Amino acid sequence: MKETFLWGGAVAAHQIEGAWDQDGKGVSVCDVLTAGSHSRAREITSSIQEDIYYPNHSGIDHYHLYKEDIALFAELGFKTFRMSIAWSRIFPNGDEKEPNEKGLAYYDTIFDELLKYNIQPVVTLSHFEMPYHLVTAYGGFKNRKLIDLFVHYAKTVINRYHAKINHWLTFNEINNQMNTKSFLFPYTNSGLLFEPEDNRQEIMYQALHHELVASARVKKFVKLNYPSLQVGCMIAWSPVYPYSCRPEDLLVANRVMHSRTICGDVSVRGHYPNYILKEWEAKGIHVEITEEDLSDLKEGTVDFIGISYYVSHAVDSTQKEDTTGAGFIGSTPNPYIKSTDWDWPIDPVGLRYTLNTLYERYELPIFIVENGFGAVDDLSEEVIQDDDRIEYLAAHISEMKKAIEIDGVEVIGYTVWGCIDVVSFTTGEMKKRYGLIYVDKDDEGNGTLERRKKKSFDWYQQVIASNGENI
């Protein structure tokens, strides 16, 4: 492992900061989301209602407790910390000309605190978050105007922080908005709310196109003004396996993988691949793409690929129903792997496979910016004995090392998702914990917010100190 390898942790603004309405921040799409659970989906309320508990309003109060949190990250030995900027702190409604200085100053404070410990911040510009006003007034990213609004926001923060941040990611898990089975991803990724009569796929592809163009324009801006900075895309990359060696299973698996590869193909190669153009033609989907868009995509290709990796899926071409809840026809439980309590398949070898397929396809550096284990912590001992989390992380890191050392894949960093307990994105729960650091807060918002090191804290500290030798 190279000495420059970026070990660290990852979070997103809306899942940790709290202080949802302080210092001029506007309402973000996550601020109107209720709490859900494994079996009950989160809901959107069209306005903030007093008698409802909104988990993202308070997060883990990192907004005020950042010094304590960053000191713990420093103790872990983090080389990097992946975080996001809440767009609604900088432009409360999203369409103002002038930014909110208090929001900008807040992130200066955070970056300076990280840099004090030589922790390099990696910033996601939009991690499932945009000002809610952009949904109600513009309909989210299906509206072409969002490209300019996003680029204006991006230029504002890049101009302000370019000397402090080297690695930038544009949209978190940009491909996940294609999950139209769930309302949550299209809503938080792209600000989309659907009417029953809507052609969801057409709207979704149009919004995705606007995001890909916005992302490319940001990269073009950086290339021109700050050429030493690195801009990456961020893709949720869960591999899809054929359930059997039946050739039809392989074809279905390949087709389902298109929902991952399309974003990589456009962001890295700078143009739409034929398979998607053919799919649109066959389905009668019309996506409005201008000549300028095409040249922006071509000129704004990314420097590296950021991925989140949690799970893998398997598809069986004879199945007509989704039996796993993974969101596509034919997906079926894989008998060779176990799952978490939230039914997320655990597949470390799939990470090695993913890194290989990505590198063979794109030959660009890969940054694993999310990987982690969501579970209920057992509080019966003074130090939380989260051996399952250690086992999960150790297995994935070990497969990543094989990809680097045996297969020759270029991986530049690894950040544990939710290195400190955060509000779960899909469920809004606190009890689905990923942290190496426990936060005393429950699903109703009660708790002292005290931070406690789990057993995995000491373990990961050793992993980093030995540069991945002691796993």
Site residues, ligand BGP (CB under 6 A): 12, 128, 172-173, 236, 308, 370, 374, 417, 424-427, 432
Tokens standing for residue 60 = 């883990």
CB of 292 to ligand BGP, least distance (A): 30
Q: Which is nearer to ligand BGP, 124 or 230 (CB)?
A: 124
CB of 370 to ligand BGP, least distance (A): 6
At 195, the amino acid letter reads: E
Q: Which is nearer to ligand BGP, 425 or 457 (CB)?
A: 425
Q: Which is nearer to ligand BGP, 154 or 184 (CB)?
A: 184
Overall residue count recorded for the chain in this entry? 471
Asked if residue 461 lies in contact with residue 436, where contact means CB atoms within 8 angstroms, the answer is no
CB of 37 to ligand BGP, least distance (A): 11
For the chain, the distance separating the N- and C-terminal CA atoms, rounded to the nearest angstrom, is: 13
**Residue holding tokens 């609604």?**
88
CB of 203 to ligand BGP, least distance (A): 21
CB of 269 to ligand BGP, least distance (A): 24
Q: How far apart are CA 134 and CA 428, in angstroms?
A: 22
Q: How far apart are CA 162 and CA 226, in angstroms?
A: 7
Q: Which is nearer to ligand BGP, 12 or 346 (CB)?
A: 12
Nearest Cα to Cα of residue 176 among 184, 165, 164, 168:
184
Asked if residue 449 lies in contact with residue 84, where contact means CB atoms within 8 angstroms, the answer is no
Q: Which is nearer to ligand BGP, 12 or 130 (CB)?
A: 12
CB of 204 to ligand BGP, least distance (A): 17
Nearest Cα to Cα of residue 421 among 456, 467, 387:
456
Active-site residue (options: 173, 211, 370, 429): 370
Helix, coil or strand: residue 293: helix
For 125, other C-beta atoms within 10 Å of its C-beta total: 24
Q: How far apart are CA 236 and CA 305, in angstroms?
A: 11
Tokens standing for residue 148 = 């300019």
**Residue holding tokens 């929902």?**
259
Q: Would you call 370 a catalytic residue per the annotation? A: yes
Q: Which is nearer to ligand BGP, 241 or 425 (CB)?
A: 425
Alpha-carbon distances of 327 from 99, 256, 291, 352, rounded to whole Å:
39, 10, 34, 24
CB of 425 to ligand BGP, least distance (A): 3
Burial bucket for residue 152 (CB in 10 Å: 0-12, 13-18, 19+): middle
Helices and strands in the chain, H and E counts: 15, 13
Q: Which is nearer to ligand BGP, 36 or 139 (CB)?
A: 36
Active-site annotation, residues: 370
